[in-house]
Structure 1
Amino acid sequence: MDALGPALVGGILASTSGISVPPPQDPIPPARNSWGYTLGAQDGGSPGSDGGKAVRDPQGTSRTADHSSQMGPHDCRTLSDNVQVCIPSHAHGGAAKPSPAELALTRWTRLPIPAPVVRTAPPRRAGGLVGLPEWFWVTNWRPLTARAAARGVWARMTARPQGMTIDPGYGERAVHCPGPGTAYDNSLPAASQHTRCSYTFTRSSLYQPGHAYRVRVQVVWGGTWIGSDGSSGVLPPTTRSTTLRLRIAEAQALYGRGRT
Structure 2
Amino acid sequence: MLAYGLSSLLAVALLAVPGDGDGAEVKAQPWGYLITGRQGPRPGAANRSGSGSNVTCKYTPWHVDGQQNGGLEFVDPASNPNSKPRGDGAYYLIECSDGYRDVLWVQGDIGQTVTSEQLARQAYALIPIAPPKVLTAPPRGSDALVGLPHWFYLRKGEWKAKSKRLEVGAVWAEATATPQKMTVDAGDGKTITCDGPGTAYDPSKRADQQRSSCSYRYLHPKGAYQASVTVTWNGTWRGSGGSGGTLPSITRTVTFPIRVSEAQALVTKG
Give me the TM-score of the superposition, normalised by structure 2: 0.60
Q: Following TM superposition, by how much is the alpha carbon of 1:110 offset from its aligned partner in structure 2, in angstroms?
A: 3.9
Is the aligned partner of 1:158 residue 2:176?
yes
Q: 1:195-215 CA distances to partner (integer Å, 9 max, x unpaired)?
A: 220011111123xxxxx1111
Q: Following TM superposition, by how much is the alpha carbon of 1:73 offset from its aligned partner in structure 2, in angstroms?
A: 5.5
Picking from 215, 222, 225, the partner of 2:227 is: 215
Structure 1 match to 2:61: none
Structure 1 match to 2:124: 108
CA contact (8 A) 1:164 1:178 kept: yes
Is the aligned partner of 1:198 residue 2:215?
yes
Q: In structure 1, the residue corresponding to 2:227 is in which secondary structure?
A: strand
Is the aligned partner of 1:240 residue 2:252?
yes
| Aligned 1:1-260 pairs, distance under 5 A | 74-76=10-12, 77-78=56-57, 79-83=96-100, 95-139=111-155, 140-171=158-189, 173-206=190-223, 212-253=224-265, 255=267
CA-based RMSD: 2.6
Structure whose CA Rg is larger? 1
**Does the C-alpha gap of structure 1 residues 73 and 219 become closer, same or farther in structure 2, counting only changes over 3 Å?**
closer
Give me the TM-score of the superposition, normalised by structure 1: 0.62
What percent of counterpart residues are identical? Answer: 41
- Which 4+ residue blocks in structure 1 deviate beyond 2 angstroms? 71-81, 84-90, 149-152, 251-258
Q: In structure 1, the residue corresponding to 2:201 is in which secondary structure?
A: coil
**Does the C-alpha gap of structure 1 residues 215 and 73 become closer, same or farther in structure 2, counting only changes over 3 Å?**
closer
Q: 1:53-109 CA distances to partner (integer Å, 9 max, x unpaired)?
A: xxxxxxxxxxxxxxxxxx97523534443125897995xxx9222211111123323
CA distance in structure 2 between the aligned counterparts of 1:200 and 1:223, rounded to whole angstroms:
32
Bigger fraction of residues in strand: 2
CA distance in structure 1 between the aligned counterparts of 2:206 and 2:266, rounded to whole angstroms:
26
Q: 1:23-63 CA distances to partner (integer Å, 9 max, x unpaired)?
A: xxxxxxxxxxxxxxxxxxxxxxxxxxxxxxxxxxxxxxxxx
CA distance in structure 2 between the aligned counterparts of 1:189 and 1:254, rounded to whole angstroms:
20
Gaps of 5+ in 2: 1-6, 13-55, 58-95
Q: In structure 1, the residue corresponding to 2:202 is in which secondary structure?
A: coil
Task: Name the amino acid aligned to 1:238.
Answer: I
